[in-house]
Amino acid sequence: MKSIILIAVAFLAIAAAAPVEKEPPKVVYYVFEKEPEGSYVFKYETDDGTKREETGVVRETLDEDNKLQRVVVVSGSYTFVNNEGELDTIKYFADESGYHADGKSIPKVPARR
Protein backbone atom coordinates (compact mmCIF):
# COMPACT_ATOMS: atom_id res chain seq x y z
CA MET A 1 0.00 0.00 0.00
CA LYS A 2 2.83 2.38 0.90
CA SER A 3 4.50 1.70 -2.43
CA ILE A 4 1.29 2.52 -4.33
CA ILE A 5 0.98 5.84 -2.49
CA LEU A 6 4.67 6.55 -3.09
CA ILE A 7 4.30 5.83 -6.81
CA ALA A 8 1.18 8.02 -7.03
CA VAL A 9 2.98 10.89 -5.28
CA ALA A 10 5.95 10.48 -7.65
CA PHE A 11 3.66 10.68 -10.69
CA LEU A 12 1.95 13.78 -9.28
CA ALA A 13 5.35 15.42 -8.72
CA ILE A 14 6.40 14.66 -12.29
CA ALA A 15 3.13 15.99 -13.69
CA ALA A 16 3.38 19.17 -11.62
CA ALA A 17 6.97 19.76 -12.79
CA ALA A 18 6.11 19.39 -16.48
CA PRO A 19 6.40 22.68 -18.38
CA VAL A 20 3.14 24.45 -19.05
CA GLU A 21 2.62 25.07 -22.75
CA LYS A 22 2.18 28.74 -23.50
CA GLU A 23 -0.62 29.72 -25.85
CA PRO A 24 0.59 31.22 -29.13
CA PRO A 25 -0.12 34.94 -29.50
CA LYS A 26 -3.43 35.86 -31.11
CA VAL A 27 -3.53 37.86 -34.33
CA VAL A 28 -5.36 41.13 -33.63
CA TYR A 29 -4.85 42.78 -37.04
CA TYR A 30 -4.19 41.37 -40.52
CA VAL A 31 -4.21 42.90 -44.01
CA PHE A 32 -3.00 41.52 -47.33
CA GLU A 33 -3.75 43.43 -50.53
CA LYS A 34 -2.31 42.38 -53.87
CA GLU A 35 -2.54 44.28 -57.14
CA PRO A 36 -2.71 42.55 -60.55
CA GLU A 37 0.71 43.87 -61.63
CA GLY A 38 2.37 42.24 -58.60
CA SER A 39 2.65 44.99 -55.98
CA TYR A 40 1.28 44.26 -52.51
CA VAL A 41 0.82 45.48 -48.93
CA PHE A 42 1.03 43.06 -46.02
CA LYS A 43 0.52 43.86 -42.32
CA TYR A 44 -0.25 41.98 -39.14
CA GLU A 45 -0.04 42.45 -35.38
CA THR A 46 -0.40 40.02 -32.48
CA ASP A 47 -1.50 40.58 -28.90
CA ASP A 48 2.09 40.23 -27.59
CA GLY A 49 3.28 43.30 -29.55
CA THR A 50 4.77 41.43 -32.51
CA LYS A 51 4.18 43.35 -35.77
CA ARG A 52 5.13 43.12 -39.41
CA GLU A 53 4.53 45.57 -42.23
CA GLU A 54 5.73 45.03 -45.78
CA THR A 55 5.22 46.68 -49.14
CA GLY A 56 6.25 45.26 -52.48
CA VAL A 57 6.42 47.47 -55.58
CA VAL A 58 7.11 46.23 -59.12
CA ARG A 59 9.93 48.13 -60.80
CA GLU A 60 11.52 47.74 -64.22
CA THR A 61 15.29 47.56 -64.32
CA LEU A 62 18.04 46.35 -66.64
CA ASP A 63 19.68 42.98 -66.04
CA GLU A 64 23.37 42.21 -66.64
CA ASP A 65 22.65 41.75 -70.39
CA ASN A 66 20.91 45.16 -70.57
CA LYS A 67 17.52 43.48 -71.00
CA LEU A 68 14.52 45.01 -69.31
CA GLN A 69 13.22 42.95 -66.42
CA ARG A 70 10.58 43.43 -63.75
CA VAL A 71 11.61 43.07 -60.12
CA VAL A 72 9.65 43.43 -56.88
CA VAL A 73 11.28 45.91 -54.51
CA VAL A 74 10.33 45.07 -50.93
CA SER A 75 10.49 47.32 -47.87
CA GLY A 76 9.11 47.00 -44.41
CA SER A 77 9.71 46.37 -40.75
CA TYR A 78 9.02 43.83 -38.07
CA THR A 79 8.83 44.14 -34.30
CA PHE A 80 9.30 41.21 -31.95
CA VAL A 81 9.88 40.44 -28.27
CA ASN A 82 13.62 39.82 -27.79
CA ASN A 83 15.30 37.55 -25.21
CA GLU A 84 15.26 40.35 -22.62
CA GLY A 85 11.48 40.68 -23.00
CA GLU A 86 11.73 44.03 -24.81
CA LEU A 87 10.23 44.95 -28.16
CA ASP A 88 12.85 45.22 -30.91
CA THR A 89 12.20 46.64 -34.40
CA ILE A 90 14.08 45.79 -37.59
CA LYS A 91 13.62 47.89 -40.74
CA TYR A 92 14.59 46.40 -44.09
CA PHE A 93 14.46 46.71 -47.85
CA ALA A 94 15.38 44.37 -50.67
CA ASP A 95 15.99 45.30 -54.28
CA GLU A 96 18.32 44.33 -57.10
CA SER A 97 21.29 45.25 -54.86
CA GLY A 98 20.31 42.72 -52.15
CA TYR A 99 18.75 42.61 -48.70
CA HIS A 100 19.50 45.45 -46.27
CA ALA A 101 18.36 45.52 -42.63
CA ASP A 102 18.86 47.93 -39.74
CA GLY A 103 17.95 47.70 -36.07
CA LYS A 104 19.55 47.82 -32.64
CA SER A 105 19.97 44.03 -32.52
CA ILE A 106 21.79 43.88 -35.87
CA PRO A 107 25.57 44.25 -35.50
CA LYS A 108 27.06 47.26 -37.24
CA VAL A 109 29.95 46.82 -39.65
CA PRO A 110 32.90 48.97 -38.58
CA ALA A 111 33.78 51.79 -40.96
CA ARG A 112 36.89 51.29 -43.09
CA ARG A 113 39.87 53.49 -42.42
CA 77/CA 52 separation, integer angstroms: 6
Contacting residues for 54 by C-beta, under 8 A, at least 6 apart: 40, 41, 42, 43, 74, 75, 76
- For 10-69, the pLDDT digits (tens) are 666 666 666 677 888 899 999 999 999 889 999 999 998 899 999 999 998 888 898 988
Residue 22: predicted pLDDT: 80
- Model pTM score: 0.69
Angle formed at CA 39 by CA 76 and CA 58, multiple of 5 degrees: 95
Residue 84: predicted pLDDT: 87
Residue 70: predicted pLDDT: 86
CA 46/CA 29 separation, integer angstroms: 7
Domain spans of the chain?
Answer: 25-102
